[in-house]
Every structure is written in structure tokens, then in C-alpha cells.
């Protein structure tokens, strides 16, 4: 290894340490911190963010990258990939002033606390001035970059490198009519019963069952933990310290199980990253769409499958005998896959989920373009919920305030959820071609072969390959909707006898 590469890795390692320390503060803010700590926490995160930004955008880093690009040109090695990814980040980060990074940390920390209060009180006016500041900073961020085909491209590229707004809109335009057609067919069929899912369930028993499930998946508790928060998320401090959070909803008590599976999918990806990539830009998942493919796969393609519940349902029934009395495993399977318009994105069924994402994408593009006034978002949200989903939220807590993402400035993020659904189905077809008895393994509660396949084909590569290249490498095609439509059609044709 060259001396210059050693120098670069040392600097990037320090930057990673600073960013991971900020992640610890962010995790603590959402899990443990008392409400009054918000202002000081914002300053702490601003300081760390500013130092990390100044260090990562130094002239020394620029010189090292220029020299190493020439030295490693044409190589497919991990070191060449590190330089490529680090160069891409450097080119973006050097356009953004350190003062802006610090200001954004202060603004978004306060915005998160305001969002928690606003959602709890179902009062958008509490969050409004904070969201206006957040969106103002997002527009300012876009201004640091050369004009793109669409201003939203700059934001999307932060989460899904190489993807354009027009690409996503094309994928969604192709997908939407096929999903609408399926939903209409389902709406004409006899609806499944699910009242037993909404009875009173003991919170601790549900929580414990969620941990038993993800333990079977292969979640390493020596390198991770699960805690409570307002909105489930996963965060990584190192390959040996991945955290997931969850919540309990009395109205949908078993949603805790699926949230655990979802966030564990993210964590399994992080735990499977090549340890040699630690403290470098190659650590972790390559993009949010690929990351979501992992979480949605474990939550839905595994966790909402009949073979899965043929294994776990007897134990669930033992834990909740009165709630599930007289309910067969097939009836339970149908109930957890019931298709109906719903208010909350994270609890939406697979057939309608992507419509929630398409709605949010349209709103984010409108905010970036200045087409929508922030104060009008609750009314715009409700109108688009009627257009997309066919229902109107009774309040802003179940409407425009339901997601945490905008509070911390993550505008450009939402489309990756739907893209992740598509990638999960593309991978699933490939996995089933390679593991011919996968359903039987799942039926026996065995997930080693599945996790091993994902570790070998996806997880170990971290950021080494760009997302579209990785999907192409593993499945033979770039991200598209065909496999997902096949999956949905097959699954719901069985459940609803279409």
C-alpha cells in the first residue's frame, strides 16, 4: 500500500469517526435525550459536522485523491473503489461551505424536536416555521451545485447515486397503472377478515416476539440492540455496533413485528459489510434503494410469506391464545396481507405502499420547485391522499406529520423506498433460482442460506459498486418493475382468488 493511500485512509478514518460520533448523538436524541436538551444537542452536532466537513474537504485530501486516481487508474481493487467513492464525495462536499453544514445541524435538530411535539399534539403550526427553514436550506444546498436536468436531481443523487428524477418518474409511470389495475381487481374480490389483528396485545410479549424473530434471521446481538422511539430507524456506529429502533402502536400492535424485521434487514446489511472497509467510505450499504431492498425483503418477502408463518404462527398463538383463538395460519397469513387503503405508510400493504411513495415524491418535487407553499402542505397532502389512496386523514398526525424524514432535511429520500421494493423482487427471483428449497428452509425457520447468499452477493461489497452496477452484476438487469409486478400479481391472486 502506498504512503499516499495510507495518509488518505487516516484522514478519512478520522472523518468517519466524527460522523459516527454525530450519529451516536442523533440516536441518543431520538431514544434517550430529554426534550430540553435539543438546543445544546444541535450545537454539539453542528460542531462535529463542521470539523468533519473541514477535514474531509481539505486541500490535502484533494491532492491525495488526484495523485491516487492516476496511480490506481483502471483497477477494480478495493483501494481503487475507495478512491473513486471518496473522490465523488469530495467533489460534492467541497461545494458546500462548512458554515452551512453547521447551520443545517442546528436547524434540523430543532426541527426534529418540533416535529415530535407537533405530531404528538397533531398541530402542524408547531412544525411549520421549522420546516420552512429546512426547505430553505435544501434549496440553498441545491444552489451550491451546477444546474441539473431537474433541481431535485441534486438531492436524489445524495441517496441514490446516478439516479435522475426523470428515471424515477419513468419507473413510477410504468408501475402505477399496473398497481392500480391489481388494486381494482382486489377491490372487487371478497375481502379478508383481520379484526383479530387489532385486539389488545401485551406490548412486552409482542416486543419479545419481535426480538425472537430477528434473532432467527441472524441479527447479532453482540453487535446490535433494539430500542424504542417515535419513528423506527436503523443507524450504524461501526460494523460491530448497529442499532435498530421500534415502536408499539396499540391500534396495530403486531406492526411492531414487521418494523423489527424491516429495521433488522437494514442492520443485517450493515453487519455484513466487509470489516476491511471499516472507517472508510466503502463501509455500509451502497445506496438507500439497495438498503431498502434488504429491509423490505426481510419484512415482506420473508416476513409476510406463508412458509414463514407456518413456522412462527404456532408460537405466536401460544403467546396470544385468546386473541388468535379459532384463527388458522392461512387466515392469519391473509390478514397480514390484507389490501385496503390506509393512512400510515409504514403499515401500508404491499399493493398500495408504492402509492404512498409516489405521493411524497410529488410533494417533495413541488417543494423544491416552489410550486407548493409549506403552509399549504396539510391541505395538499389530504387532497393527494384522496387522489392516490382514496381516503382522507382525520388529522395531521396521521397525515402530513406521520414521517420524520423532513424534520432532519432528508428531502430526496422517499423514492428509494419504492425502488427498494423493486430491487427486493429482482433479487428474490435470483435467490430462488439459486436456493431451490428456500420456501422449505423458511418453513423450518432456517435462514442461514438466505443470509449467506445476501452476505456473499450484496452485503460484503459495501459501497464498492454503484447501486445500478451492483443490481446488474447480481440480477443481470438494472432496476425495473417487472419482477415486482410478477411477485405482487402471484401473491395477491392466491390470497384474493383473482
Residues identified as active-site: 263
Rounded CA separation 156/152 (Å): 6
Q: Which of 424, 441, 443, 432 is nearest to 481 (CA)?
A: 424
SS3 482: helix
Yes or no: say if 281 and 85 are a contact pair by the CB < 8 Å rule.
Answer: yes
DSSP 8-state assignment for residue 36? G
SS3 10: helix
462: left (phi over 0), alpha (psi -120 to 50) or beta: left
Intra-chain end-to-end CA distance of the chain, in Å: 60
Q: Which residues contact 348 (CB under 8 A, 6 or more apart)?
A: 342, 356
Going by their DSSP bridges, the two strands 224-228 and 241-246 should be labelled as parallel
| 342 C-beta neighbours (distance < 10 Å), count | 18
DSSP tally for the chain: helices H, then strands E: 20, 3
Beta bridge partners of residue 246, listed in sequence order: 228
332: which 3 cell numbers? Answer: 392469519
**Residues written for the chain:** 498
267: which 3 cell numbers? Answer: 442492520
Q: Which residues contact 59 (CB under 8 A, 6 or more apart)?
A: none
Q: In what order do the strands lie in the sheet with 224-228?
A: 224-228, 241-246, 234-238
SS3 357: helix
The residue with cell 478512491 is 83
Beta bridge partners of residue 242, listed in sequence order: 224, 236
Yes or no: say if 298 and 262 are a contact pair by the CB < 8 Å rule.
Answer: yes
Q: Which of 237, 228, 229 is nearest to 271 (CA)?
A: 237
Amino acid at each position: 500500500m502506498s504512503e499516499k493511500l495510507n495518509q488518505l485512509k487516516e484522514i478519512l478514518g478520522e472523518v468517519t469517526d466524527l460522523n459516527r460520533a454525530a450519529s451516536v448523538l442523533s440516536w441518543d436524541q431520538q431514544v434517550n435525550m430529554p426534550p430540553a436538551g435539543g438546543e445544546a444537542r444541535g450545537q454539539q452536532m453542528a460542531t462535529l459536522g463542521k470539523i468533519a466537513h473541514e477535514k474531509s474537504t481539505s486541500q490535502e485530501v484533494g491532492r491525495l485523491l488526484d495523485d491516487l486516481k492516476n496511480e490506481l487508474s483502471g483497477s477494480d481493487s478495493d483501494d481503487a473503489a475507495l478512491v473513486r467513492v471518496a473522490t465523488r464525495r469530495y467533489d460534492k462536499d467541497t461545494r458546500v461551505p462548512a458554515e452551512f453544514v453547521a447551520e443545517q445541524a442546528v436547524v434540523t435538530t430543532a426541527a426534529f424536536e418540533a416535529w415530535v411535539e407537533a405530531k404528538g399534539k397533531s398541530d402542524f403550526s408547531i412544525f411549520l416555521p421549522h420546516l420552512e427553514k429546512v426547505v430553505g436550506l435544501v434549496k440553498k444546498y441545491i444552489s451550491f451545485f451546477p444546474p441539473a436536468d431537474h433541481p431535485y436531481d441534486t438531492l436524489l443523487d445524495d441517496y441514490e447515486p446516478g439516479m435522475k428524477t426523470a428515471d424515477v418518474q419513468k419507473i413510477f409511470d410504468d408501475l402505477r397503472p399496473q398497481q392500480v389495475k391489481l388494486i381494482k381487481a382486489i377491490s372487487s374480490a371478497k375481502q379478508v377478515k383481520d379484526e383479530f389483528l387489532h385486539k389488545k396485545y401485551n406490548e412486552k410479549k409482542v416486543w419479545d416476539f419481535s426480538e425472537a424473530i430477528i434473532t432467527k434471521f441472524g441479527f447479532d446481538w453482540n453487535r446490535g440492540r433494539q430500542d424504542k422511539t417515535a419513528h423506527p430507524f436503523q443507524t450504524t456506529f461501526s460494523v460491530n455496533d448497529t442499532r435498530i429502533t421500534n415502536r408499539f402502536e396499540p391500534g396495530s400492535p403486531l406492526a411492531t413485528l414487521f418494523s423489527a424485521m424491516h429495521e433488522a434487514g437494514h442492520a443485517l446489511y450493515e453487519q455484513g459489510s466487509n470489516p476491511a472497509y471499516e472507517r472508510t467510505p466503502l463501509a455500509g450499504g451502497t445506496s438507500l434503494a439497495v438498503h431498502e431492498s434488504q429491509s423490505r425483503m426481510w419484512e415482506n418477502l420473508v416476513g409476510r410469506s406463508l412458509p414463514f408463518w407456518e413456522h412462527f404462527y404456532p408460537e405466536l398463538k401460544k403467546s396470544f391464545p385468546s386473541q388468535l383463538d379459532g384463527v388458522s395460519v392461512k387466515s392469519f397469513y391473509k390478514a397480514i396481507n390484507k389490501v385496503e387503503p390506509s393512512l400510515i405508510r409504514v403499515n401500508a400493504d404491499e399493493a398500495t405502499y408504492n402509492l404512498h411513495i409516489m405521493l411524497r415524491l410529488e410533494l417533495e418535487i413541488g417543494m423544491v420547485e416552489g410550486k407548493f407553499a409549506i403552509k399549504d402542505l396539510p391541505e395538499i397532502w389530504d387532497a393527494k391522499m384522496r387522489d392516490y389512496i382514496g381516503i382522507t386523514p382525520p388529522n395531521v398526525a396521521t397525515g402530513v406529520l406521520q414521517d420524520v424524514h423532513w424534520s432532519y432535511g432528508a428531502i430526496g429520500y422517499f423514492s428509494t423506498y419504492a425502488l427498494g421494493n423493486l430491487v427486493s423482487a429482482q433479487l428474490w427471483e435470483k435467490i430462488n433460482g439459486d436456493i431451490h428449497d428456500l420456501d422449505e428452509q423458511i418453513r423450518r425457520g432456517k435462514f442461514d442460506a438466505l443470509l449467506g447468499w445476501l452476505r456473499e452477493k450484496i452485503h460484503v461489497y459495501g459501497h464498492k459498486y454503484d447501486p445500478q452496477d451492483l443490481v446488474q452484476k447480481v440480477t443481470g438487469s438494472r432496476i425495473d418493475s417487472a419482477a415486482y409486478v410478477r411477485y405482487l400479481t402471484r401473491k395477491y391472486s392466491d390470497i384474493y382468488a383473482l
